Amino acid sequence: MFSPPEPIYTVSGIRAIEERAKPQADPTLMERAGRVAAEEAVRLTMDRPGTVLIACGPGNNGGDGFVMARRLLQARRPVVVAFAGKTERLPADARAALEAWHEAGGETLSELPDPPAEGWALVVDALFGIGLQRPLEAPYTNWIDTLNALPGPRLAIDIPSGLDANTGRSLGRAFRATHTLSFIALKPGLLTLDGPDHAGAVTVRTLDVDPEALLPAEGQRLRPSMFREHLVPRPFNTHKGSFGDAGIIGGANGMNGAALLAGRAALKLGAGRIFVGMMDRDAPAVDLMQPELMLRAPAVVLDAAGVLALGPGLGLADEARRMMERALPLDIPLILDADALNLIAEDHRLEQICAGRRAATILTPHPAEAGRLLGSDAASVQADRLGAAAGLARRFNALIALKGCGTVVAAPDERWWINCTGHPGMATAGMGDVLTGLVTALIAQHWPLESALIAAVHLHGAAADRLAREGVGPIGLTSGEVIDAARAVFNAWIVQAATPLPESA
The two counts, helices (H) then strands (E), for the chain are 18, 18
Separation between Cα atoms, residue 466 and residue 97, nearest integer Å: 45
For residue 199, the SS3 value is helix
Within-domain flag for 504: no
What pLDDT, on a 0 to 100 scale, did the predictor assign at position 364? 98
Within-domain flag for 168: yes
Please name every residue paired with 163 in a beta bridge, in sequence order, or none if there are none. 170
Please give the average per-residue pLDDT across 183-191, as a whole number: 98
What pLDDT, on a 0 to 100 scale, did the predictor assign at position 501? 62
Within-domain flag for 505: no
What pLDDT, on a 0 to 100 scale, did the predictor assign at position 70? 98
What pLDDT, on a 0 to 100 scale, did the predictor assign at position 172? 87
Please give the average per-residue pLDDT across 243-266, as a whole number: 97
> For residue 242, what are the CA distances in angstroms to 184, 271, 452?
45, 9, 17
Contact yes or no for 202/180 (Cβ under 8 A): yes
The angle subtended at Cα 34 by Cα 62 and Cα 187, nearest 5°, is 75
Pairing relationship of beta strands 416-418 and 408-410 according to DSSP bridges? antiparallel
Separation between Cα atoms, residue 41 and residue 33, nearest integer Å: 12
Residues of the binding site for K(+): 61, 125, 161
- Average pLDDT for the chain: 96
Q: Please provide residue 87's backbone torsions phi and psi, each rounded to the nearest 5 degrees.
A: -55, -45
Percent of the chain with pLDDT over 90: 94
What pLDDT, on a 0 to 100 scale, did the predictor assign at position 505? 45
| Co-location of 140 and 259 in the same domain | no
Interval 93-119: pLDDT, tens: 999 999 999 999 999 999 999 999 999
Please give the average per-residue pLDDT across 417-439, as a whole number: 97
pLDDT greater at residue 57 or residue 23:
57
Nearest alpha-carbon partner for 278 in 237, 324, 310, 322? 310
Separation between Cα atoms, residue 233 and residue 475, nearest integer Å: 34
Is the pLDDT at 206 greater than 90, yes or no? yes
| Co-location of 332 and 404 in the same domain | yes
Within-domain flag for 232: yes
Which CATH number goes with the domain that contains 417? 3.40.1190.20
Interval 7-44: pLDDT, tens: 999 999 999 999 999 888 889 999 999 999 999 999 99
- Which band of pLDDT confidence, cut at 50, 70 and 90, is reported for residue 427? very high
Within-domain flag for 73: yes
Which CATH number goes with the domain that contains 22? 3.40.50.10260
pTM (global) more than 0.85: yes
For residue 123, the SS3 value is strand
Q: Where are the beta strands (DSSP E) in 87-148?
A: 108-109, 122-126
| Co-location of 60 and 180 in the same domain | yes
What pLDDT, on a 0 to 100 scale, did the predictor assign at position 503? 56
Separation between Cα atoms, residue 409 and residue 401, nearest integer Å: 4
Residues spanned by the domain of 93? 6-219
| Co-location of 126 and 149 in the same domain | yes
| Co-location of 294 and 333 in the same domain | yes
Within-domain flag for 417: yes
What pLDDT, on a 0 to 100 scale, did the predictor assign at position 438? 98
3-state secondary structure 387-405: HHHHHHHHHHCCEEEECCC
Is the pLDDT at 194 greater than 60, yes or no? yes
| Co-location of 231 and 204 in the same domain | no
> Which of the listed residues 175, 197, 219 is the one where a domain comes to its end?
219
Interval 258-313: pLDDT, tens: 999 999 999 999 999 999 999 999 999 999 999 999 999 999 999 999 999 999 99
Contact yes or no for 74/40 (Cβ under 8 A): no
Residues of the binding site for (6S)-NADPHX: 60-64, 129-135, 140, 158, 258, 313, 366, 433
Pairing relationship of beta strands 219-221 and 416-418 according to DSSP bridges? parallel
> Which of the listed residues 201, 219, 237 is the one where a domain comes to its end?
219
Q: How many domains does the structure of the chain reveal?
A: 2
CA 158 to mean position of chain CA atoms: 18
Separation between Cα atoms, residue 194 and residue 171, nearest integer Å: 10
What pLDDT, on a 0 to 100 scale, did the predictor assign at position 502? 59
Please give the average per-residue pLDDT across 456-466, as a whole number: 98
Residues of the binding site: 60-64, 125, 129-135, 140, 158, 161, 258, 313, 366, 403-407, 432-433
Residues of the binding site for AMP: 403-407, 432
Within-domain flag for 141: yes
Within-domain flag for 492: yes
Q: Sign of torsion, CA 39 41 46 51?
A: negative
> Which of the listed residues 219, 252, 278 is the one where a domain comes to its end?
219
| Co-location of 484 and 381 in the same domain | yes
- Which band of pLDDT confidence, cut at 50, 70 and 90, is reported for residue 5? confident
